[in-house]
Amino acid sequence: MPVRRALRGRILSFEADPAEVGDAASHLYLEDGVVLVEDGRIAALGEAGDMLGQLPEGTPVDDHAGHLILPGLIDTHIHLPQTQVIASHGTQLLDWLQKYTFVEEQRFADFDHAARIACFFLDELLRNGTTTAAVYGSVHTESADALFAEALRRNTRMIAGKVMMDRGAPAALLDTAESGYRESKALIERWHGRGRLHYAVSPRFAVTSSDAQLEAAGALLAEHPGCYLQTHLSENPDEIATVRRLFPWAKSYTDVYDRFGLLGERSLFGHCIHLEEAERRRLSASRSVAVLCPTSNLFLGSGLFDLAALRSAGRPVRVALATDIGGGTSYSMLRTAAEAYKVVQLRGQRWSALEALYAITLGNARALGLEGEIGSLEPGTEADIVVLDARATPAMAHRMETARDLAEQLFVLLIMGDERAVRATYVMGEPVSRA
Ligand code: GUN
Ligand code: ZN
């Protein structure tokens, strides 16, 4: 007998990018709908009036009437060992790394510490409605082992890797080109493709990896083409100047990664704020992904992501959205999208509520190449689901009194919402977090 569950509420699921097809054609919306889940996957969805009478006998119905049912949210760049770095005062990127981050990350040599933090981390993601994330560990294999083990236990779809870093940090945080390669390979063999887990080869950034280590990262990718690549690119002017000094042969920061074969459609480049046009062209041609991390970019004073320049017709760069905890300041993808909206505003550009909700669901799923599994409520996909209450706080409920249509309601939810708006989170059809 299949395990079944139905959810009733206001269903919103994207089918296309609103920036490409317009808001109206981009999504399915049912004011009073039902999603039927069977054995962890979406089996059907439709109007409650049609569906309720046809549900197989005994199917429990979770009543979320009046609340929004969306696919689980996706965070494409976050650091496991920085849950106790978030909100560290007073520095920009390179000093912040030395003063706070590289101190805290040393604690992850201890598996028990890593396991405790991994447990908190996944609890917190799910409490925020985030069901999939691309996660950086510390340099220690313990950090990746702890996260993968906990994600496997909870059956969440997660992408993660230990960072590779062989220079530019305290000795206790350094691997070598050889050990970084060997340990990453062992982690790939141990975890990649197990349950819902994926490995991301993770050279931290060009400042902390030698030529030899970046070459080793390229070899890992070539040997394991199903794996992801995640790193940081063009976040801060001092960082970019350091990269120029360390790689005098390179035409640009992007060129450093390009020379070692690190660009591609499974490559996620965090930040991409200060790119030159030639770099955007290479990212576009290689189908690499530029990851916008707005709360981090504002908190660390890094700069304003130029969405329009990246998306420019002719040579569009694929874009994703992420928290970047602990440079970022909120685990909530709603709040992250709200800050992205403000960054877009500061650039004099426009972004609709539907574009933002697309970005944190199907948009991020597509950026990860996982739209066949997650990111929508399409029948056959995995039933990772979030239920949002657009009236979660008195101020939201008060504002909602004057919201005239769905687009306006969604915009209020986006700008005022955070984890308090998360009514329930489901992983493969099972409720895991309820406010
Ligand atoms: N660049 C290299 N490492 C990091 C990190 O941990 N956070 C951010 N925001 N940028 C980085
Ligand atoms: Zn980061």
Closest atom of ligand 1 relative to the 235 alpha carbon: 10
Residue 376 · residue 364 · CB < 8 Å:
no
Q: Which residues lie below 8 Å from residue 392, measured CB to CB, with a gap of 6+? A: 417, 420, 421, 423
Cα–Cα distance for residue pair 325/87, rounded to 1 Å: 9
Give ∠ CA 195-198-202 in degrees, rounded to 5: 150
- Among 124, 17, 29, residue whose Cα is nearest residue 68: 29
> Which residue puts its alpha carbon closest to atom 1 of ligand 1?
232
Cα–Cα distance for residue pair 163/173, rounded to 1 Å: 10
What pLDDT score does 313 carry? 83
Cα dist. 403→353, 396, 406, 407, 413 in Å?
13, 10, 8, 9, 10
Q: Which residues lie below 8 Å from residue 76, measured CB to CB, with a gap of 6+? A: 133, 134, 268, 289, 291, 320, 321, 322, 364, 367, 368
Across 99-196, the runs of DSSP E, i.e. the strands, are 130-136, 157-161, 163-164
Ligand 1 centroid, distance to 236 Cα (angstroms): 10
Ligand 2 centroid, distance to 44 Cα (angstroms): 37
Closest atom of ligand 1 relative to the 296 alpha carbon: 9
> Reduced to 3 states, what is the DSSP secondary structure of residue 144?
helix
Query: Beta strand 163-164 with 197-203: parallel, antiparallel or unpaired?
Result: parallel
Residue segments in the chain with a per-residue pLDDT below the cut of 70: 434-435
Residue 229 · residue 266 · CB < 8 Å:
yes
Ligand 2 centroid, distance to 231 Cα (angstroms): 8
| Ligand 1 pocket, mutate which of 100, 213, 232, 256 (most atoms under 8 A from CB) | 232
Please name the amino acid found at residue 181.
Y
Closest atom of ligand 1 relative to the 239 alpha carbon: 1
- pLDDT tens digits for range 7-16: 999 999 999 9
What pLDDT score does 297 carry? 98
Query: Beta strand 430-434 with 422-427: parallel, antiparallel or unpaired?
Result: antiparallel
Cα–Cα distance for residue pair 23/38, rounded to 1 Å: 30
What pLDDT score does 433 carry? 73
- Among 132, 115, 10, 7, residue whose Cα is nearest residue 61: 7
Ligand 1 centroid, distance to 62 Cα (angstroms): 41
Ligand 1 centroid, distance to 272 Cα (angstroms): 12
> Which residue puts its alpha carbon closest to atom 3 of ligand 1?
204
Ligand 1 centroid, distance to 210 Cα (angstroms): 17
Ligand 1 and 391: CB distance under 6 A: no
Ligand 1 and 323: CB distance under 6 A: no
Q: What does 376-425 look like in DSSP terms, one character per residue?
A: S--TTSB--EEEE-TT-SHHHHHHHTT--SHHHHHHHHHHH-SGGGEEEE
Cα dist. 26→19, 161, 310, 359, 362 in Å?
9, 33, 21, 12, 11
Ligand 1 and 326: CB distance under 6 A: no
- pLDDT tens digits for range 266-310: 999 999 999 999 999 999 999 999 999 999 999 999 999 999 999
Residue 142 · residue 108 · CB < 8 Å:
yes
Cα–Cα distance for residue pair 168/173, rounded to 1 Å: 9
> Which residue puts its alpha carbon closest to atom 7 of ligand 1?
327
What pLDDT score does 1 carry? 87
Cα–Cα distance for residue pair 433/120, rounded to 1 Å: 13
| Ligand 1 pocket, mutate which of 85, 97, 272 (most atoms under 8 A from CB) | 97
Terminal CA-CA length for the chain: 30
Is the link from the previous residue into 137 a cis peptide, with omega within 30 of 0? Answer: no
Cα dist. 253→57, 98, 220 in Å?
60, 21, 21
What pLDDT score does 435 carry? 46
Query: Beta strand 318-321 with 289-292: parallel, antiparallel or unpaired?
Result: parallel
Please name the amino acid found at residue 306.
D
Cα–Cα distance for residue pair 304/292, rounded to 1 Å: 9
Closest atom of ligand 1 relative to the 82 alpha carbon: 6
- The Cβ-side half-sphere exposure at 206, using a 13 Å CA radius, reads 29
Q: Please give the DSSP secondary-structure letter assigned to residue 10.
A: E
Ligand 2 centroid, distance to 327 Cα (angstroms): 7
Which uninterrupted H or E stretch holds 147?
A: helix 141-154
